[in-house]
Amino acid sequence: MPDNAASALSLIAMDLDVNTLFMVTMYIEIMLGLLLFFAWAQNFSKRALAWWGSAHLLRATSIMLLGLYGMAPDSLSIDLANAVLFGSFALTWCGARVFDRRNPEPVVALVGVAIWLLACRLQAFTTTVELRVLVGSGIVTAYTWAAAYEFWRGRDEALVSRWPAIFMLFAHGALFLLRTPIGSAAHVAPGNNLAMSGWLELLSLEGLLFTISIAFILLAMAKERTEYRHRAAASTDPLTGIANRRGFLEQTAVVQRSAAGAQATAVLLFDLDNFKTINDRYGHAVGDRTLKIFADLAKAHIGEAGTVGRWGGDEFVAVLPNTNREIAATVAERIRIALEHEAADIDGRVVGATVSTGIAFSNHGAFELPLMLLKADQALYRAKADGRNRLAISVPEAVMAADEKQPPSATNSVRIGRRNAAA
């Protein structure tokens, strides 16, 4: 190593003392562990915080045992201390799994700890420093990278703080592997002990910074998820599980911004036929079940091709961008037929629920939702007037103006499906 680099590390070594860092780290681990437990006590549903708090307290215990080196048997100050350290990283992995609603798998998590304790019973292992450092570093790296992987698996959940957690865990695991070559170099070249000590102190400082950073990142993740769920709850209809009016308008705003280059956009307005009669005759439980069945069918048939939401009461609305008349009519007809089949018998009662649909189109990508809803509502009115259980497509304004001068029996609705005799 060049003299200037060795000198720099020697200055760092003078300012940083490993024992001091160990003591500071131990106190910080205790405080962070208690902080995580306090956050968990405020909301016991955040079980991952309890796992992560336990991990920090275990690391503090491990540091305390390591501090007994020279005053206690190696089986306590080295073997058990490292086993407790590995267990703390195992709890971090378990907490990552619990956070994303997976089983913690504590038995699997303790495999690394078991490997270490079994290896410590072998004389060749206890007398080879490089091997002990290699195995220990590998276990810590495996746990931290496993925790990073668990967070990465749940990346579909839009949490911004998830990505710093993944980076910090991966980087810490990678840096932990540096302890193996540095420890080997110090053992092989004792003349460079000052330089090696500087590197080890830097790695110890990194461990301190990591434990502080990861604790606050994990707290931020738990807080962000709570806020995300509150926002989602405010935009979701609790009965049907699809977007409520507010959520639908938010989703449609995104569609409107991205629809400038689309060829056409369809707005579908659904209204369950005779829904008040269903509620009065069979009770609100059957009525709610009917709404849930329709919402599930609408979501299944529209899928990711558009957005669907509950507009209010027994009215639902959907927006299909880049959709022509034939496709929109086909989707609406499939939903109508599916509801007629699925809601014929609900909980052993012959309900026979049906739906009427009004469809409006914008010939260009950009569209005004209020105007489209007005056109779809006019088409829906004609579908109801024609006997329900059918769909009607909005017609151009010029044709509608001429049609308004004709008797109500002269309609421009597109009749698909059989006529329902019910009024």
- pLDDT of 70 reads 82
Does residue 417 lie within any of the structural domains? no
* pLDDT over 60 (residue 285): yes
307 and 180 part of one domain: no
Residue 199 pLDDT level (bands cut at 50, 70, 90): low
Distance CA 58, CA 68 (A): 16
- pLDDT of 418 reads 35
Q: What is the CATH number of the domain that holds 145?
A: 1.20.1070
Task: Specify which residues 207 forms β-bridges with.
Answer: none
Pairing of strands 355-362, 391-393: parallel
Does residue 61 lie within any of the structural domains? yes
Q: What is the pLDDT of residues 246-284, one digit of tens each?
A: 999 988 887 777 655 557 889 999 999 999 999 999 999
185 and 60 part of one domain: yes
- Give start and end residues of each alpha helix (H) in 365-412: 369-385, 397-404
- The domain in which residue 328 lies consists of 245-404
113 and 174 part of one domain: yes
- pLDDT of 192 reads 47
* pLDDT over 70 (residue 33): yes
Q: What is the CATH number of the domain that holds 276?
A: 3.30.70.270
Helix (H, G, I), strand (E, B) or coil at 412: coil
- Those residues whose C-beta lies under 8 Å from the C-beta of residue 289, and which sit 6 or more positions away, are 346, 347
- pLDDT of 208 reads 84
Distance CA 315, CA 322 (A): 23
DSSP per residue over 215-233, as a string?
A: HHHHHHHHHHHHHHHHHHH
Does residue 409 lie within any of the structural domains? no
Does residue 169 lie within any of the structural domains? yes
Torsion (CA) 239, 241, 247, 248 in degrees, nearest 10: -100
Helix (H, G, I), strand (E, B) or coil at 261: coil
Q: Are residues 63 and 29 in contact, defined by beta-carbon separation less than 8 angstroms?
A: yes
How much is the average pLDDT of 385-411?
61
Number of domains making up the chain: 2
* pLDDT over 60 (residue 391): yes
- pLDDT of 66 reads 86
82 and 195 part of one domain: yes
How much is the average pLDDT of 238-253?
91
Does residue 174 lie within any of the structural domains? yes
207 and 127 part of one domain: yes
29 and 149 part of one domain: yes
Does residue 186 lie within any of the structural domains? yes
277 and 184 part of one domain: no
The residue from 234, 263, 295 where one domain ends is 234
Does residue 416 lie within any of the structural domains? no
The closest alpha carbon to 156, from 226, 231, 100, belongs to: 100
The residue from 234, 269, 292 where one domain ends is 234
210 and 299 part of one domain: no
Q: What is the pLDDT of residues 107-137, one digit of tens each?
A: 999 999 999 999 999 988 888 888 888 899 8
Does residue 412 lie within any of the structural domains? no
Matching residue, tokens 């957005």? 307
pTM (2 d.p.): 0.69
Residue 54 pLDDT level (bands cut at 50, 70, 90): very high
Residue 323 pLDDT level (bands cut at 50, 70, 90): confident
* pLDDT over 60 (residue 234): yes
End-to-end CA separation in angstroms for the chain: 92
Distance CA 294, CA 265 (A): 22
Torsion (CA) 50, 55, 56, 62 in degrees, nearest 10: 150
299 and 170 part of one domain: no
255 and 397 part of one domain: yes
17 and 158 part of one domain: yes
Q: Are residues 26 and 60 in contact, defined by beta-carbon separation less than 8 angstroms?
A: yes
* pLDDT over 70 (residue 342): yes
- Those residues whose C-beta lies under 8 Å from the C-beta of residue 347, and which sit 6 or more positions away, are 285, 286, 289
- pLDDT of 396 reads 59
156 and 298 part of one domain: no
